[in-house]
Structure 1
Amino acid sequence: MTKPTEVLILGGGIIGLACAWEAARRGFRTTVVEAGEFGGQASGAAAGLLAPYSENPESPDPFFQLCAESHSLYPAWVRELEELTGRSAELRHSGSLNVAFHEADFLSLRARLEWQSKYGAGFELLDAAELRRLEPALSERALGALYCSDESHVHAPQLVGVLEEACRRSGVRLVAHAGNVTLLKRAAGEGVIVESSFAGRWQADRVVVCTGAWSGFVQEWLPVHVPVHPIRGQICAYDVQGGHIRHMVFSSQAYWVGKNDGSLVCGASEDMAGFDRSVTEQGIGRLTRWSGSVYPFLQDKRPSRSWAGLRPATLDGWPLIGCIPEAPELIMAVGHYRNGILLSPATATLVGDLLQGKSGKFGNAFGIERFSPAGKRRGVG
């Protein structure tokens, strides 16, 4: 019998766990090595938005296509996870409202309606009265909104927990608190050996790097530039028991999304702070000021909690998904920035295809080659 291919996933956030579950389903012997707790970084700090249209207002480029495809995969993907584990990821089909507070805002909303309605259903441009009917708690300053009935959200920490359990039940070996990792060997026919600070050595035929904002460490192994850097995203939550908010609401400065536990999550204040995950008064203060302006009932209310996560961003804002030409046994699945939760199913599918030697439908649009001088000249990505 042929020995199963050993796949080592570096990173136990939602992308790493999704790729591990997909690899196991395709018959690979899979191990996930996580430096700390599973879902302990950007995944656990996310608001769980599944909003391919609200997050991509400009044009139907390959990134939008990837987001839209991943969103279409979500219902069946979550249903299978929940059936396997008996746990809920709290997928809510709430719909979204992109609110206009100035007449000029309607120009961009109309432009979005024109092209996005060709790729999805349930779009409608609302006036103030129609908006108030759907979301009565909004400020009277709101002049209208672009409504998208198709967008949804999950409870990110619960989804991470469901994925972790699904991996465990599918035979994936899960190794937490492994510390830093170092590549020791990369030789033809011998696979890859990775050493961790606290969990020993691991050998695999293929390695999938899903280490988020920390993915630049690959440059210590190979003569390649990995253009991933951290963006600190600060988020807060209000206790609003009673269901004040019915939809995901987006403004030009922040978003609000209600969860099943009665909390209203507001995000995200972003800044460049290296790997500092501390919460700042300035960052949360901006969110609370906007919250009080958009929702009058929040004007004198303080958030019940605040937190921050490090979002892995690339130079062009698109994720990095693909093999490294100099080391084809290494696959990158990093740089998802604000859309790691949304892009998990599609990323896992692309990685699964790469593990099986298949070329994905997006070609090299998300490959590392686009950051090389030759790639830039060819217009890759």
Structure 2
Amino acid sequence: MKPSVLIVGGGIIGLSCAFEAASRGFAVTVLERDGFGGQASGAAAGMLAPFSENPDGPDAFFRLCLDSLRLYPEWARRVEEASGRRVEFLRTGSLQVALHEADELPLARRMEWQRPFGSFAERLSGEALRKLEPGLTGEAVSALYCPEEGHVHAPKLVEALELACLRAGVRLVAGAGELLRAEADESSGVRVTAAAAGRHAADLAVWCTGAWSGLHGGWLGAPVPVHPIRGQICAYRPLPCDVRHMIFTSQAYWVRKSDGSLVCGASEDVAGFDRSVTEAGIGRLVRWTGKMFPDLRGTEPARRWAGLRPATLDGWPLLGPLASMPGVFLAAGHYRNGILLSPATAAAACDWLEGRVGRTDGRLEPFSPERFSGARSGS
């Protein structure tokens, strides 16, 4: 009989881990302080773009993101089949736009090192670029076109995962309130107490509390240097122009959803746990939207919102078992890649639950929670 599993946190990572664990035959409970997917998950643009968003080189993080992208088609199919809901997984391709000649050299270098990893990217300019994306500004010198990348509708993915978990027999506990206590030992497993949901116990646990993870280092017995970054986003609807691909610049990105809206993000700042929207944050996105799409110049967004992204000191997630707390796997700090990394994170966590991943596993070693042993939780 497989051990029972407690998932602490009901965002995209927690729900993904719960769905995968239930699919593998575990008895699963998910403990969520508020509503499922209500923080960074539901506010995300849902981009699946490891080639565009990891420009530096083929490090372990890029490889993890690429592995997760390649898991997505089958994983999305499984979620849709289990839930009966569409998650709108669309492989639209992306354009990384160069507005000046000086921007072209980094794009050429990126294309060169990414090609051995299966990238089919190509550089476009002039009439070829205008034909591919007619609404784009004429100031665009060129663009790197990456056909493999795509996106999902993040709120719909969260809803589908929640329903898929319910149908798989997962016990979902929403509105649990603040966590008051957590303890674990090898003989009696993991025990977590929440203000509104009382005490819950299981043999093993996966800790996925997003931007709040940094507050839990005292209970977990190890520093969890995760802090919230406010990401402000806006959306335009209806559109006077057709936007066919995900568009990236150094200042913003744009993603058109199947409902016809154009999502633009993200203005980032450190504001603690404040999710309010500011004129300064949205104003920068509005200016860049007008610059990139002349037909939208002077248009105000139809919707504005913000979410809290869980950032670490080096931008890489914390993935792995905690030596300080037996039976607990930490999956936190995904920053702006939580949607993309959901399949890979769920697979890694559940491989550990099944005893197939040890504490010295090479795939997870670069993301070990212990790499920040000298840092302070939440710093």
Question: Structure 1 length as normaliser, TM-score?
Answer: 0.95
Q: Secondary structure at the match of 1:322?
A: strand
RMSD: 1.4
Q: How many Å separate the matches in 1 of 2:183 and 2:52? A: 44
Q: Which amino acid in 2 is paired with 1:41?
A: Q
What is the match of residue 102 of structure 1?
Answer: 100
Percent same amino acid at aligned positions?
Answer: 59
Aligned 1:44-123 pairs, distance under 5 A: 44-123=42-121
What is the match of residue 191 of structure 2?
Answer: 193
Match 2:304 to one of 300, 303, 306: 306
What is the match of residue 162 of structure 1?
Answer: 160
Match 2:178 to one of 177, 180, 194: 180
> Is the Cα contact below 8 Å between 1:9 and 1:16 reproduced in 2?
yes
Q: How many Å separate the matches in 2 of 1:226 and 1:101? A: 39
Q: Which amino acid in 2 is paired with 1:316?
A: D
1:10 aligns with 2:8: yes
Aligned 1:1-381 pairs, distance under 5 A: 2=1, 4-241=2-239, 244-359=242-357, 360=361, 362-372=363-373
Q: Which amino acid in 1 is paired with 2:371?
A: R
Residue range with higher mean Cα deviation, 234-243 or 128-137 = 234-243
Q: How many Å separate the matches in 2 of 1:128 and 1:140? A: 9
Paired residue total: 372
> Is the Cα contact below 8 Å between 2:135 and 2:241 reproduced in 1?
no
How far residue 364 of structure 1 moved from its aligned partner, in angstroms, is: 1.2
How far residue 241 of structure 1 moved from its aligned partner, in angstroms, is: 4.3
Q: How many Å separate the matches in 1 of 2:267 and 2:341? A: 21
Flag structure 2 segments of 5+ consecutive residues without an equivalent. none
- Once the two structures are superposed, residues 283-339 of structure 1 have per-residue CA deviations (whole angstroms, 9 ceiling, x without a partner) of 000000000001001111100000000000000000001111111311110000010
- Once the two structures are superposed, residues 84-115 of structure 1 have per-residue CA deviations (whole angstroms, 9 ceiling, x without a partner) of 22210011110000000000100000000101
Q: Which amino acid in 1 is paired with 2:372?
A: F
- Once the two structures are superposed, residues 108-137 of structure 1 have per-residue CA deviations (whole angstroms, 9 ceiling, x without a partner) of 000001011111232101112211110010
- Once the two structures are superposed, residues 55-88 of structure 1 have per-residue CA deviations (whole angstroms, 9 ceiling, x without a partner) of 1001010000000000000000001111222210
Q: Which amino acid in 2 is paired with 1:217?
A: L
- Once the two structures are superposed, residues 337-379 of structure 1 have per-residue CA deviations (whole angstroms, 9 ceiling, x without a partner) of 01000000000000001111222551411111211259xxxxx
Q: Secondary structure at the match of 1:79?
A: helix
Q: Which amino acid in 2 is paired with 1:367?
A: S
Residue range with higher mean Cα deviation, 147-156 or 210-219 = 210-219
Flag structure 1 segments of 5+ consecutive residues without an equivalent. 375-381
- Once the two structures are superposed, residues 192-240 of structure 1 have per-residue CA deviations (whole angstroms, 9 ceiling, x without a partner) of 2211111121011111110000001222214311110000000000003
Q: Secondary structure at the match of 1:88?
A: coil
> Is the Cα contact below 8 Å between 2:320 and 2:364 reproduced in 1?
no
Q: Cα gap change, 1:294/1:243 in structure 2, threshold over 3 Å: closer, same or farther? A: closer
> Is the Cα contact below 8 Å between 2:186 and 2:326 reproduced in 1?
no
Q: Cα gap change, 1:357/1:272 in structure 2, threshold over 3 Å: closer, same or farther? A: same
Q: Which amino acid in 2 is paired with 1:148?
A: C
How far residue 184 of structure 1 moved from its aligned partner, in angstroms, is: 4.7
Q: Secondary structure at the match of 1:146?
A: strand
> Is the Cα contact below 8 Å between 1:243 and 1:262 reproduced in 2?
no
Q: Cα gap change, 1:297/1:190 in structure 2, threshold over 3 Å: closer, same or farther? A: same
Q: How many Å separate the matches in 2 of 1:242 and 1:165? A: 35
Q: Which amino acid in 1 is paired with 2:90?
A: R
Q: Secondary structure at the match of 1:328?
A: coil
Residue range with higher mean Cα deviation, 360-369 or 223-232 = 360-369
> Is the Cα contact below 8 Å between 2:247 and 2:254 reproduced in 1?
yes
